[in-house]
Structure 1
Amino acid sequence: MMGEFDAIRPYADAEVPAVMARLLKDQAFLDTLTRFRFPRLAGSFAWLLKPLIAYRLGLEFRGINSVAGLQEKIEPYIDRTVERATDGVTYSGTENLSRGNAYLFLANHRDIVMDPAFVNYAVYHAGLPTPRIAIGDNLLQKPFVSDLMRLNKSFIVHRSLSGRREKLAAFQLLSAYINHSILKDGESIWIAQAEGRAKDGDDRTDSAILKMFHMSRKDEPFAEVINSLQLIPVSISYEYDPCDQAKARELFIRESSGSYQKAQGEDDQSIALGITGYKGRVHIHFGQPIRQCPEDSKQLASEMDRQILTGYRLFPVHYLAYAMHSERDPQLAVPDASELFPADELAKASREWQRRLDACPAEQRPQLIRQYANPVRNQYRIKAGLPL
């Protein structure tokens, strides 16, 4: 195996059986599954249910000895989860992707687990191999989570390092791994356009991430390196965000007090709600591969923003929120939702939007509105040729 990447890379086929066996003995993993499957019984009957679940999983996954075999096995569960929590997933731009090519997918970031899951869903259903997924080590508090993610083609981004030298070394390794994956292994990569979710719905590409791709090949021109990685902007649009109330609360606290302290287990709650919560319709758009990269990371970031923000699908709720937004832009000719959508679709969206507003404390409503209004503002500013 490629030893230098062992600390961050996904598991290889040969490691699958041992990791699966380890998971089936992991009490924290079995606890989580028991609570998820049998919330009412998990307290009193956990001692009985855990060995049964371990036995059942052992049977179900017996004989699986490759990552592709595992993904095939869990695909129906993913599809079911997707279908239960959405009103349908659509995708466009897969004609920009061709079999046998490895790509670097750079996407806007709204949900911890579901963003890459929906990209995987679109790529898998388009008959293409799924990408390897970048995931922050801040989300891998428990060993079983790390095992599960690395079984499913995830690799680790070390975010929780504090020293400058350690951070630099981690970025260098990450850069080398991404280049190795695409150019040597022929495996695509998915990574978010910025660290952390865009909690206010304002999707922007961090040029530091684009610079990181180049770090391990510093002796080559920036544009040449990026062109070789087949960089593709990806827009992920959710009609409704299951975590919108929590994000509005966080933004309100941050804006009124200057800081926000995450509670214990808050990330776990966001992950669970993001997976199971209602999302309405979801659309994934794959943009044009970057073939003529500018020489400068800031210019490349604005090209990524242009493609990601114009590829974002605006739903009725976005226009309804924009119409209520206190910071509407007088230079923009944003049509009213009634000019764009049929009456029944708009009525349904108005009811759902009102329900969300009613559930949100009055002082946090501007932050909720902004999350849904920002994609409209950004898209129309780009269409009008105005700076973001």
Structure 2
Amino acid sequence: MVSDTDLFKDIRPYRDDEVAGAIQRLIHDDEFIGAIAKYRFSTLFGMGGPVIKALIRLYLGWRWRKLNSVRQIQLEVASYMDKMISRTTSGVTFSGLEQIDPTKGYLFISNHRDIAMDPAFVNWGLYSNGLDTVRIAIGDNLLRKPCAAELMKLNKSFIVKRSVKGPREMMKAFSELSAYLRHSIDEKQSIWIAQKEGRAKDGNDKTDPAILKMFYMEGKRQKIPFTDYIKTLNLVPVSISYEYDPGDQAKARELHSKASQGAYEKREFEDVESIVQGIVGQKGRVHVAFGEPLQGEFESADQLAEAIDQQIYANYHLFPSNLLAAGQAVAGHQDEVKVFEQHIAQIPTELKEMVLSMYARPVENKAKVSN
């Protein structure tokens, strides 16, 4: 008999009994080992690449020899997160976690600024407060390399099939995804998903109603009214605020190219570069605000999207970088003013207005709901 979990085998994260095999595949993946060697030992790699890679394989085989469960994988990730936070941020803070019931599964829907760090910081807040971590929605466009798929599925990521073509195939993929979300919530396993496909490169966070319609596909199949089904998903809007975005120049460059040339051609593994940039780049302070679970009477996806946006905007943590970009004074923050001016000074002239607009947009959106 096929279990419920096996119905989702091609999109779900790895289970405990699949961890050891995935680790062995990673250790023997030459591209994965080579990437580590080039990143960590760039000066030595050119002189003795094969030796460096062999040593990395031996080290990882020893370091990961006892990892045989998803929980152990996540504890390993937590140790890296701790180091990353100390090296690349000026502190990470959280609010709203007291509203999260540890006995329930939630559908956390957040604004999207960084491919890997958005769900990572949500997870860090939950983990640091003794709550279970989330299953992470990730597009298959990020999994073109086998090692990327292994790493993501080891860390509780499930696959959103964005690359499918044709209405029938898309309907099948999104129906499966909707059913998996329902299955996870019923298992009391929380989900993280972005409010729209792709990052908000201009800083304007806006929920895509199509995402919410996908949530409801399983409810529609069960002939449950939209407003009743949405209540069962325990949907929580999450606002993630970065004092500085390590990818601000890259985002502005893409926007500038589209504005000036009408198009932007993404390099083959540009998304992977963005992930690395987001992890190692300086972020300043970071705040993650967990909103209130949505339990209103929402008759449509558009109405629900508006309610999500209102919470995300209201819960932004505005840093001096946001206020200064919006042309507001920040008395008593001279050090922050200096850092901001230095940051903007290093941005190419043709991109400055776009970067400033990117940082100012949360101020404008928060003002909309505050008024």
* TM-score normalised per structure 1: 0.92
Equivalence for 2:254: 250
Instruction: Give, in whole Å, the separation in 2 of the partners of 1:267 and 1:44.
Output: 29
Equivalence for 1:336: 329
Deviation at 1:357, TM superposition (A): 2.1
Instruction: Give, in whole Å, the separation in 2 of the partners of 1:376 and 1:242.
Output: 19
1:104 and 2:107 aligned: yes
Equivalent runs, 1:244-323 vs 2, <5 Å: 244-323=248-327
- Give the one of 335, 344, 349 matched to 1:357: 344
Instruction: Give, in whole Å, the separation in 1 of the partners of 2:60 and 2:339.
Output: 38
- Give the one of 7, 16, 27 matched to 1:4: 7
Instruction: Give, in whole Å, the separation in 2 of the partners of 1:314 and 1:107.
Output: 16
Equivalent runs, 1:199-218 vs 2, <5 Å: 199-218=201-220
Unmatched runs of 5 consecutive residues or more in structure 2: none
Counterpart of 2:183 in 1: which secondary structure? helix
Equivalent runs, 1:1-388 vs 2, <5 Å: 1=3, 2-183=5-186, 185-218=187-220, 219-323=223-327, 336-338=329-331, 343=332, 346-384=333-371
Instruction: Give, in whole Å, the separation in 2 of the partners of 1:221 and 1:39.
Output: 57
Letter in 2 for 1:348: D
The number of residue pairs the alignment matches comes to 366
Letter in 2 for 1:145: A
8 Å CA contact 1:210, 1:297 repeated in 2? yes
Instruction: Give, in whole Å, the separation in 1 of the partners of 2:41 and 2:160.
Output: 33
Deviation beyond 3 Å, 4+ runs, structure 1: none
Question: Which stretch of structure 1 is more off in the superposition, 264-273 or 239-248?
Answer: 264-273
Counterpart of 2:293 in 1: which secondary structure? coil
Counterpart of 1:283 in 2: which secondary structure? strand
Deviation at 1:224, TM superposition (A): 1.3
Deviation at 1:145, TM superposition (A): 0.5
Deviation at 1:161, TM superposition (A): 1.9
Instruction: Give, in whole Å, the separation in 2 of the partners of 1:355 and 1:10.
Output: 42
Q: Percent identity?
A: 48
Counterpart of 1:337 in 2: which secondary structure? coil
Deviation at 1:377, TM superposition (A): 0.4
* TM-score normalised per structure 2: 0.96
Counterpart of 2:237 in 1: which secondary structure? strand
Unmatched runs of 5 consecutive residues or more in structure 1: 324-334
Letter in 2 for 1:192: A
Deviation at 1:65, TM superposition (A): 1.2
Letter in 1 for 2:70: V
Instruction: Give, in whole Å, the separation in 2 of the partners of 1:270 and 1:355.
Output: 22
Q: What's the CA shift string for 1:66-100, capped at 9, x where partnerless? A: 10011112311111012210000000000010112
Instruction: Give, in whole Å, the separation in 2 of the partners of 1:175 and 1:230.
Output: 14
Q: What's the CA shift string for 1:365-385, capped at 9, x where partnerless? A: 11111100100000001111x
Letter in 1 for 2:303: Q
Instruction: Give, in whole Å, the separation in 1 of the partners of 2:364 and 2:330.
Output: 14
